[in-house]
Structure formats: C-alpha cells, structure tokens
Amino acid sequence: MVTSAAARPLHALAPADAASAGALTATAPNPMEADMVALVAATPVAVAAVPAVVPVAPVVVPVAPAARPAPAPQAAAPAHRAPSAPPASLHLAAAQPPAVAAPPLPAAARAVEAALKELGKPYRYGALGPSTFDCSGLTKFAYGAAGISLPHSAAAQYQSGHRVNRNQLQPGDLIFWRGLGHVGLYIGNGKMVHAPRTGEVVTVISIDQGGYLGAVRPGT
C-alpha cells in the first residue's frame, strides 16, 4: 500500500519532507494570532502630546546701583552772633534802687492809728485805757503809743503844744471845745475821734458838733 506524504505523520516523513512540513506549519496563519493582530490594529494608540516649546523672553530685573556712603557733614563755620541782651530781670534790678526801709510814721500819724484802734471802748471818767477811757485819757494813751507823754486833763493838754489855726489842722492835732472841758484827736476831713461821756463809747464825730474852741499840735 502506497502511503502518500500528505497522509503520513510528520515524524514519519523524511527529513526533506519534515522540513517542508515545518515550513508550511510556520507560514500557515494561526487563527488566534490573526484575531489579536486585528484587535491591536483596530485599537487607537494614544500618543502623549509633546508640549510645544514656547520661547520665553528673558526677564531683566533692574538692579539698583549700590548706595554710596553719604559724605561726612562738614562742621559749619561759627556764625557771628550779636551779643544777647541781658535778662529783663537785670534791667529791672538796675532800674530799681535798692529797697530802703520805710521811715517810721510821724508821731501824729501813730497817735491817730492808736486812737482808732480803740473805737467802741466804753467811756469811764478818769480811765486811761486800755479797756475804758475818758476824753483826755484817750488822747494821752494815743500819744503815749507814739512816744510822746501828755498830761491827763484837757486843760493841761491845751497848754502842752503849739497852737494851730483851724485852716491849718493836720491829723494828730488835739481839738478842744469851749470851756476846755473836752478834748479829741483830729483825724482829717473835719472829724475827730474822742471818748464822749458816761454811757457812750469811743467814736468819730465832726469837730463842730460840740462847739470848737481851738487846736494844739503836741510835740512842737
């Protein structure tokens, strides 16, 4: 029985036939592989886009020049200033003379001051103060404060000083009424301070109220 080469198994083929059969086997398409090739061919391949290179202009950053040290300040030439005026206090000191103690008040002014301090004290006959007075006791007390001693009666005091006219009266003069029964101390402006009578107090009245007789200036 003659067996054809096509019907024989590959291992029964002659070497030359086996080679031919291998070639046929290699060249014959495999159905599974063909399907895979077709699938790959049909699948789109995603290709990553390559970003285009955009030319970037170089950024020029201005650089400030390094600060140079400032020149050292030069000492200013001393200005010729006018001499300053002396303080006002010096002018005042120069304009005002040194303080001089005020001279003591004249005896008459001190006597008036002393008598006016006794206003309101009660009258008592023969009293010389300091809590009660009669008329000549008040004038004697007032001039005693000024350093001048007077007798203790109106008539005696009328003889103890220089007589003055009425138009020349000055504060401190002794004022006498008619009969020399009363005396007061002139304080100016036609008035006198006196101790009037029992039941009354030291007060100020007009020199014409009791009948003016005359005036005497003690200590002259």
Which residues are catalytic, by number? 135, 182, 194
Which residue in 107, 108, 136, 132 sits closest to 122, CA to CA? 132
Rounded CA-CA distance 99/84 in Å is 28
Which tokens belong to 65? 């020049």
Strands 174-177, 183-188: pairing is: antiparallel
Residues belonging to the chain: 220
